[in-house]
Structure 1
Amino acid sequence: MIRFLFFTTLLICFSPLVPGLLGIILPAFSWLPALGYNQFSPSAFELLIHWPNLAESIGLTLFTGLGSTLLAIMFSYWILATYWETARWNRVEKLLSPMLAMPHVAFAIGFALLMSPTGWFYRVGDLFGVNSTDSTGLIQDPHGLGLLLALAIKETPFLLIMSVSVLQQLNIQRLLAVSSALGYTRSQCWYKVVLPQWLPKMRLSIFAIAAYGLSVVDVAMILGPTRPTTLSLVVWQWFNEPDLTLVPRAAAGAILMLAVTALGLGTLGLMEWLGLRRCRNWQTSGPKPHTTRQLRLTTWRGIYLPFALIPALVLPILVLWSFAQRWRFPDLLPSRYSGRFWHQELDTITELLATSLGIAILSCLAALIMAIACLEYRQRYLRGLPTWLIGLPLIIPQLSLLFGIQILTYLVPGQHYLIWVVWGHLLFVFPYVYLALDGAWRSYDIRLDQCSRSLGLNGWQTWWKVKRPLVQPAIFFAVAVGLSVSLAQYLPTQLLGAGRISTLTTEAIALSSGQDRRVMAIYGLLQGLLPLLFFAGVIMLNHYRRHDRSNRMQSKAIKPQQEYKHG
């Protein structure tokens, strides 16, 4: 059964990658028999090259994608170097889960309501006498600074979460002790000893956020520049052209976006090689005397506040806007409140919630079963999925991959849009669920299975009675991660659903393009609250499980003592 599920996972989750890429390569060369294109031609690439402002769009894409990635790396390293294994690290770590749980779209809507020229930050600035009349704000600014900053803030908690297990493997306390004995300060130890070991182990996580930043569509529609826009939005607009004869141009644009993403990832890899392998004088120059600047840098205790403050203000500002009936600028709070907009959208919200949760539950359960089967297959046969294969769906631009898969679905007769959408969500949910479970399976002691089998338990009884209680917290966490990832999917729902299936995410993005801020805030709030509820439920379940387990162990320990006294 495990072998069957393992190969079924390969068939469902990874075999579509090949036809998905072929599905954009062939139409890009004008071979699409369904539209009457039966001969290969480079005409689509000629149209692509002569598109106005193409170079500016590529430049904006590289600037926002690579810039946000480098900022996220710098901020993550800075926070880790300042707070790791200190008294305040527990406070920072508690803030990571709610910040990471918030979907990108909900964060982008709240960021727009905070940073727009009439946003709450500008209202606070006006209170202190800052004139914002001629300010353009950070929302849809021509240079993409708002998009860059929002992506950097949103991706920093992800890098911090991924860094926890890496730093635990490196044993930072021992490295600091040895470096201190050699005359290095704490800051010198971090950038000369820890950084060269931390950065290569974070390569997959860094490539994942870089690929997302270079090919993002949903957040760029809300925060990104408009004239010119990023390359991903240009290609997305080409995909939505009503003239089907322009499909080859869109496919050529998807290939270009794939090439730009590869260029960005290659640039990051080259920078890592130059900094850590080629130019190593900064690592081997030895300890330097203490300076006032270094001491001030290591003792400053507020660098994580922007990454906690802005996400912490997102939900309250969404709540205020969803109930605001009248909110003039520059008032800090609405002058009138009303629940009319909630009542107005109640029927639509109910329908969208049912659809979103249904798709999320189906895709998450399928991903959970497949991930457990793959991990059990690796434990039993010592052969599992390679890391690069798990990371492919996270690194390949969604738009490029899904367009080819969409062409593939056209070959299947019938309108099975819900099945295709669940399948599309599964492609991107599975890697996150697998990675969330991987640590628990690696740390499990296989000798426990051997002992239980020697006591007469079969394979299923061993898994259910011995292994499941130990890995159950990781399973709960993986379910919360899977549900959150599915709820945040925009492109799989739009492309594979052909616009016929609406979710909270698709509706929130549609309303963010100029509709009423109150209605936009309602959908952004719901999309942001659901993942928080999932993670809060996981925390409560794990806490109840530990409390119940400790009570049962105490009762079992007390019972023999009572029998001994009565005896």
Structure 2
Amino acid sequence: MFRKILLSTLLSAVLLPYVFFGILSLGQKWFYPDILPQRFTLDNWQQLLVRQGELQVGLLLSLVLGVGVALLSTLMGFVVSKEIAWAKHKNRWLLLAYWPFVLAPVVLAILVQRFFLFTNLSGKVIGVLLGQLMLAFPYAVILFQSFWNNQVLQLEQQSLTLGASAGYTLRHILLPLAKPLLLMCFFQTFLISWFEYGLTQFIGLGKIKTLTILVFKYVNEANIFYAALASLLIMVPPAILLWFNKKFVFKGM
């Protein structure tokens, strides 16, 4: 009985934000002390689905940046982490990978802003993507260090010794073994980009309006209905990825 009550409480706590933001995203004219909005309409969702407005562009930008950052950081992290695993001074290189996480993203953006200004990358999508890679790529390198253990390295050496090419070893031995971790890294780095605010705001100069930027913008404008819709859009992909991880990735591991 206690377990059922606990599970019901946890489930309600998880679903409550989705229900709350879903109701607000359909509302209009909400005045104190009313508990619910006085009017419900689909106009806010039409702004997203039909009209080419801020929310539609913000959703597209967030998806492009998230997928781009996830792909690049996963591929580069896998390759670089292997080189670090073979390196003579492995711990020194790993220490460098932890450096971006010592600073807050805004402080990190201030330190590298001169480079982005000099290369004319500030206020552009490619500049924001590179800025987010400064967080996602080191994370991927650190995550993949758990894969390159002695057993995997010896298995690779054995395959090469028996005459297999490096490409064959990569395709038929290393990638199948690393598949669950590759998927996990892709999802995690996607979420790093998806929720990132400080670097995006600073390097994007307010021109690159992702969903996280729009949420703060609508909150500052006291536009609670658009803020709720943008918040709901931010919350949906993590829920989908969590379900996908549980159903496919964790089983593979």
Change (3 A) 1:446 1:411: closer
Partners in 2 of 1:327 and 1:509 — Cα distance? 19
What do the CA deviations read for 1:37-56 (whole angstroms, capped 9, x no partner)?
A: xxxxxxxxxxxxxxxxxxxx
2:208 aligns to what?
501
- Is the 1:483–1:531 contact (alpha carbons within 8 Å) kept by the matching residues of 2? no
Residues 379 and 438 (structure 1), Cα distance of their counterparts in 2 relative to 1, 3 Å cut: closer
CA distance in 1, matches of 2:106, 2:173: 43
Counterpart check, 1:391 vs 2:132: no
Matching residue within 373, 380, 384 for 2:79: 373
Partner of 1:315: 18
In the TM superposition, residue 322 of structure 1 has moved relative to its aligned partner by 1.2
- Structure 1: which amino acid aligns with 2:80? C
Alpha-carbon offset, residue 381 of structure 1: 3.4
Q: CA deviation at 1:483?
A: 0.5
Matched AA of 2:99: L
Contact 1:477 1:535 in 2 (8 A): no
Indicate whether 1:408 and 2:111 are aligned: no
Matches of 1:363 and 1:433, distance apart in 2: 11
**Contact kept? 1:436, 1:477, Cα under 8 Å:** no
Q: 1:496 to 1:438 in 2, by over 3 A?
A: same
Structure-to-structure mapping, 1:79-228, within 5 angstroms: none
* CA deviation string 1:517-556 (max 9, x = no partner): 221100001111122223333444437979xxxxxxxxxx
- Partner of 2:219 in structure 1? 512
Aligned to 1:542: 249
- For residues 272-421 of structure 1, what are the structure 2 equivalents within 5 Å? 310-325=13-28, 337-346=40-49, 347-348=52-53, 349-384=55-90, 386-412=93-119, 417-421=124-128
After TM superposition, the score normalised by the length of structure 1 is 0.39
Residue 437 (str. 1) matches residue 144 (str. 2): yes
| Distance in 2 separating the partners of 1:502 and 1:400 | 20
Contact 2:73 2:137 in 1 (8 A): yes
List alignment gaps of at least 5 residues for structure 1: 1-87, 92-300, 547-567
**CA-atom RMSD in angstroms:** 3.3
Kindly provide the amino acid, as one letter, of the partner of residue 42 in structure 2. Answer: G
Which letter maps to 1:366? L
Write the mapping of 1:8-87 to structure 2, written as runs, cut at 5 A. none
Tell whether the 8 Å contact from 1:327 to 1:335 is kept in structure 2 after alignment.
yes
- The alpha carbon displacement at 1:474 in A equals 0.8
In structure 2, the CA distance between the partners of 1:406 and 1:418, relative to structure 1 (3 Å rule), is same
How far 1:509 sits from its partner (Å)? Answer: 0.9
Aligned counterpart in structure 1 of residue 197 of structure 2, from 482, 485, 490: 490
Q: Post-superposition shift, 1:462?
A: 1.1
What does the per-residue CA deviation read over 1:417-459, in whole Å, with 9 as the maximum and x for residues that have no partner?
Answer: 2221111110111232223322233375333223322432112
Judged with a 3 Å threshold, the aligned counterparts in structure 2 of structure 1 residues 543 and 388 are, in CA distance, closer, same or farther, namely closer
Relative contact order: is structure 1 or structure 2 higher (C-alpha 8 Å, sep ≥ 6)? 2
Pair 406,450 (structure 1): closer, same or farther in 2 beyond 3 Å: closer
Counterpart of 2:45 in structure 1: which amino acid?
W
**2:121 touches 2:127 (CA, 8 Å); kept in 1?**
no
2:157 maps to what in 1? 450
Deviations 1:124-172 (A, max 9, x none): xxxxxxxxxxxxxxxxxxxxxxxxxxxxxxxxxxxxxxxxxxxxxxxxx
Taking only the aligned residue pairs, the percentage that are identical comes to 21
1:262-311 Cα shifts (integer Å, max 9, x gaps): xxxxxxxxxxxxxxxxxxxxxxxxxxxxxxxxxxxxxxx97x99987655
Q: State how far apart, in whole Å, the 1-side matches of 2:23 and 2:183 are.
A: 32
Q: 1:413 to 1:489 in 2, by over 3 A?
A: closer
In 2, Cα distance between equivalents of 1:437 and 1:414: 29
**Counterpart selection for 2:228 from 508, 521, 528:** 521
SS of aligned partner of 2:114: helix
Measure, in 2, the Cα distance between the counterparts of 1:334 and 1:410. 45
Residue 395 to residue 543, structure 1, CA distance change in 2 (3 Å): closer
> Scaled by the length of structure 2, what TM-score is found?
0.82
Aligned residues: 247
Structure 1 residues 408 and 511: alpha-carbon distance in aligned structure 2, compared to 1, 3 A threshold: same
Partners of 2:248 and 2:229 in 1: CA distance: 28
